[in-house]
Structure 1
Amino acid sequence: MAPRTTFAAAACTVAAAALFLTACGGGSHDDKIAATTPASTPPPTTTSSSPTPTTAPGAPTFDFPSDVKITIDADTTGDKTKDAILRDQGYGLDATYVAVTKLDKNLPLFTTYMSESALETWSETIDALKKNGHNISGSVHYYDRKVTINGSQAGVTYCENERYLYDKDTKSGKVLTTTPSSDDFILHSSLMRKSKDGTWVTATDNSQEGVARCQP
């Protein structure tokens, strides 16, 4: 099956080359091209009564365009260290999408929260989008985040629903709609490292599409 978007294809190709992803795929493009306004965004796959990381006091400012929405469930645990890891991991996701929408792999927020192979992978993904004349439009939802700690390192597993995330042609502004697929639901496993200033930074990310745990 053809990759769902240039964005998804680039991420899968680059990550697979770096031995991050265990599976890549996604639904195929529809022949229809949508207008500038993307398809309506449904409610998140899961809900949380806790605030998302980006609403916390002192959170960085993430400047998303009006046609991109990133929802990250707080998934707080009550453990101070684990919640700090989830907070910074959420910041890393937000920072990555801001870098993608700006097509700027040198964005300071992005290089603050992403490092090592994760930074390299997403930087190459941004380069691939620019080369293809594409950006993104729509919504992504992250949920069911869980943390394990091992000293100055931690693992975070989490789910992603990218069913309503689409490619957008940067010249025309038109959005390419896609056929829904179970591969739109992705399970991630990230390695986080604690930096000298106390920030938890994403170092690597492994992903597998179509995992039952992440599907509604």
Structure 2
Amino acid sequence: MRARSALPVAALVATAALTLSACGGGSGGDGDSTISPVATATTSAAPTATSAAPSAAGAPLTVDPALALPADLRLDFDWTLPADAAQAGVLTASADFMQSMVHGVVRQNVKDATLNTYAQGAAYTYAKQYVQLHIDAKKTLTGTDHFYRPVVKLLAKNSAAQVTFCEDQSKLYSKEVATGKAHVTGADDRNYVSYQLVLSLFRPGTQLWRAQAITVKERALECKQ
């Protein structure tokens, strides 16, 4: 996701912890940035039906059409949906959250409504910081961002979930908003990033999920393919 590495760690850490007894934390080693959820609620629209009714097991994941990106930019989620409806909903919401941040960058709008559709609390704070970083740099994105190896763990009687996955951003580039010039980068271990998301069920009896926390590990050599 390119500019994410420039987010200062001190700005990413919130003091409140998610009150889910079954929920584990991130790795917290060097290269990690963590946001834990805050207790205050965020008023926002509900996630869309793409999270509520995922496709059949084994089908490709479908991102919310409201998060459509320009033709020169694509997020490639190499994820197939599991048979379990809750796990499928969690994976779909995770992809929607990741793409909502890029959607905000493309729009150059830290108040993009899709940001708090798929995130609350500290994950929402992180998403806004990520978008603002690009706005301040007067840059957007171009190319293909590849996400793969998702693992879903349901928690707290299926009312919360933890998702881990990898990213290869070797074909994703920053682009000047004013000129359209792309900054092409070469091979670098920084292209490999691992993520851990914590999501909570938005409404009981549905499969509508929102991101609450995010942990990012850069130079994630375990993600090399």
Coarse TM-score class (shorter-chain normalised): 0.7 to 0.9
* Pair 1:8 & 2:4 matched: yes
**Paired position in structure 1 for 2:106:** 101
**In 1, Cα distance between equivalents of 2:89 and 2:127:** 23
**Paired position in structure 2 for 1:41:** none
1:125-204 superposed matches below 5 A: 125-151=130-156, 152-196=159-203, 198=206, 199-204=208-213
SS at match of 2:180: coil
Q: Deviations over 1:68-87 (max 9, x none)?
A: 11111233221111111111
**Paired position in structure 1 for 2:86:** 81
2:101–2:127 contact (8 Å) kept in structure 1: yes
Name which of 8, 11, 14 aligns with 1:17. 11
- What do you get for the CA RMSD once the two structures are aligned? 2.3
SS at match of 2:195: strand
Q: Which amino acid aligns with 2:212?
A: A
- C-alpha change, 1:157 and 1:85, in structure 2 (3 Å) is same
**Paired position in structure 2 for 1:205:** 214
Name which of 109, 123, 127 aligns with 1:122. 127
Q: Which amino acid aligns with 1:8?
A: R
Bigger shift: residues 134-143 or 196-205:
196-205
**In 1, Cα distance between equivalents of 2:182 and 2:97:** 25
Could you state the TM-score of these two structures normalised by the residue count of structure 2?
0.73
2:68–2:103 contact (8 Å) kept in structure 1: yes
**In 1, Cα distance between equivalents of 2:169 and 2:120:** 23
**In 2, Cα distance between equivalents of 1:23 and 1:77:** 32
Deviation of 1:16 after TM superposition, in Å, equals: 5.1
2:105–2:135 contact (8 Å) kept in structure 1: no
Could you state the TM-score of these two structures normalised by the residue count of structure 1?
0.76
- C-alpha change, 1:16 and 1:207, in structure 2 (3 Å) is farther
SS at match of 2:161: strand
Q: Figure out how many residues of one structure are paired with residues of the other and give that number.
A: 183
Deviation of 1:212 after TM superposition, in Å, equals: 3.3
1:74–1:87 contact (8 Å) kept in structure 2: no
Q: Deviations over 1:25-58 (max 9, x none)?
A: 9xxxxxxxxxxxxxxxxxxxxxxx731222xxxx
Q: Which runs of 5+ in 1 are unaligned?
A: 26-48
SS at match of 2:82: coil
**In 2, Cα distance between equivalents of 1:50 and 1:214:** 23
Q: Percent identity?
A: 18
**In 2, Cα distance between equivalents of 1:64 and 1:188:** 22
